[in-house]
Every structure is written in C-alpha cells, then in structure tokens.
Amino acid sequence: MLWVDRPETHAALGDVTDRFEARPAPPLRGTGRASVLLCLGARRVIHSVGWTGSAVGPDVQSWVSETDPYHQGENMMGQNATPGSEAPGSKTPGTEPKDSVAPIRTWGGEDAMLSAYYDDEWGRPVTSEAGLFERLTLEAFQSGLSWATILRKRENFRSAFAGFDPVVVAGFQEQDVERLMDDAGIVRNLRKIQAAITNAAATVALREEGGLPSLIWSHRPETTPLPSRVEDVPSRSPESAALAKDLKRHGFVFVGPTTAHALMEAIGMVDTHLLSSHRRGVSGLWNEDGTWAADPVFEDSAAQ
C-alpha cells in the first residue's frame, strides 16, 4: 500500500500545501488486516476491520501515525486553538451523551485536538450570523487541506478576520488583503481571502431578506442519515446541493454541495454520527428514527 500525493489537486485549488511523501506500508502482523484510505479535502480516514488490539503490530501503528495527517493532528479550525473552543453561536444541547459510553468517532479519534473538537463542538446547533459566517469561511479555507490544518489556526483566523464580524470583513480594503497574505498564522490563499470578503458582503446584504441563519437553516432536510458504518455517511445530499445553489444565488462564492454538506454536519443541521456513537443525537434536533425532534433556537432576530 502507498500513500499517493495528488499535487494536481492542490494546484487546482491554488494552495500547494499539506504534502506528504509516498512511502510503503510495513507488513501486517497477526491475523488481522488493515487498510487506510486517505481522500484529500475529506475529513475522514477510514480504517477497515482489524485495526484494533493485537491485529496489527506496533510498526503499522507507528507508520500510520507518521504518514496519516489525521494522526499528526492536521485538520480544520486554528493554530493555538483550545480543545473544545466553540464557534460563536454554538449551542449546548439539552441532552448530553453518557460519560460511560465508550467513544465512537467517525474521524479524529487518534488526535487529542480533533477528538476534543468532535466531542465538544462538531454537530451542535449553530444559529447566529457570526457563527455561521465563521463556519462557512473556514469550510472554504479548508478546501484541499486537512481539517486539523485549519483547526490549529482557528484563533489566528478569528483575530485576522475581526472575530468574523461580517460588517467589518465586508469593509476590508486592498491593504487588508495584503496584510492577510503576509499573515503566516492563517492559510495565505488569495482566492480564499477574497472569497471571505465577498461572502461577508453577501452576508450583510442577506439581512434584508431574513439573514444568513434563515437561509441556511431553511435547507434542513426532513430526515437525517442513519449511518451504521463510516461508509454509510454521505458527503453531499440534495439539500446540500440546494443550499449551495441558494448561497451562490445570493452572491456567495467558493461554496459547493460538498462544502455545504460539511457545514450542515458541523452545525447540527444533519446528524451523521454513527448510530453507535457516543455523540449521536447531541444536537437535540433529531429523533432516533431520523425525524425532526425540535426546531433550532435562533439568536438573531432577523432569522426568527
């Protein structure tokens, strides 16, 4: 097995970063078999059956830790980020999982920072304008990169983009773009920086039509997925395609069905935690059968 770098993918996205070299996997030990699939720009590293216990030797585990960006802690949302720090507008649901339940995560389980984000924030409802603008911006910056890359830089992004105040960001001028391009604490990609400014202006303009929270949450599906395995978790949906189309119609850029679906997962619009996960139902918005249990509570009056 080889890790295969895809430089053309990075180049197409204008950010040749997050590289790793192809290296062969060591032989598996014992009776178990393990395989690892890495998808650039995705958030999940899928481990097949036989990955736990003595099924694989320590040399294999060491190899994965050295080569897998998720094991290295490279994924989306801020340098110097405090594990568990939440986006503006992140809600604490009424129903919390029991501490006695063994953690079952679809991604990030081998990295402390990612595990904390997965357990403390991912999938909780976010309904404020600033919170949604932050998530939308960071999802765009994550394109072509790992989520941990952005997660480690999250606090730097917040500082560089004025706490993701859309009014302030919409007013950024050329000197601000130059400042951001010189800021090593964020992802220095001109297209993504310009997209953030464009989307800030679109967010402000949406206030005349009910606001960004109203637009995004209007695309909440009637049911949420019920995945038993990681392979059952979708990366896009008809609703995410409709959301991306609606955002573009209102002037947003750098957003597609896959990015929109990732946003929907992160803010609790859909619950893609495995049915066996200790975080299943953390949003408090879905019944066990995947139907609506409650409506989100909006912080911004414009979204109500």
| Residues designated as active site | 117, 139, 147
Q: How many C-beta atoms surround the C-beta of residue 286 within 10 A? A: 22
Angle separating helix axes 190-205 and 174-181, nearest 10 degrees = 130
CB 151 within 8 A of CB 186: no
**Is 24 in a helix, a strand, or coil?**
strand
Q: Where are the alpha helices (DSSP H) in the chain?
A: 7-12, 58-67, 112-120, 129-142, 147-151, 154-160, 166-170, 174-181, 190-205, 212-217, 238-249, 257-266
Q: How far apart are CA 80 and CA 198, in angstroms?
A: 27
Closest by CA position to 213, among listed 297, 282, 140, 287:
297
| Share in percent of the chain as helix, strand, coil (round to 5) | 40, 5, 55
CA dihedral 25, 30, 32, 37 (to 10 degrees): -10
Tell me which DSSP letter residue 301 carries.
G
Q: How far apart are CA 269 and CA 214, in angstroms?
A: 12
CA dihedral 284, 110, 146, 254 (to 10 degrees): -10
Phi, psi angles (nearest 5°) of residue 73? 85, 30
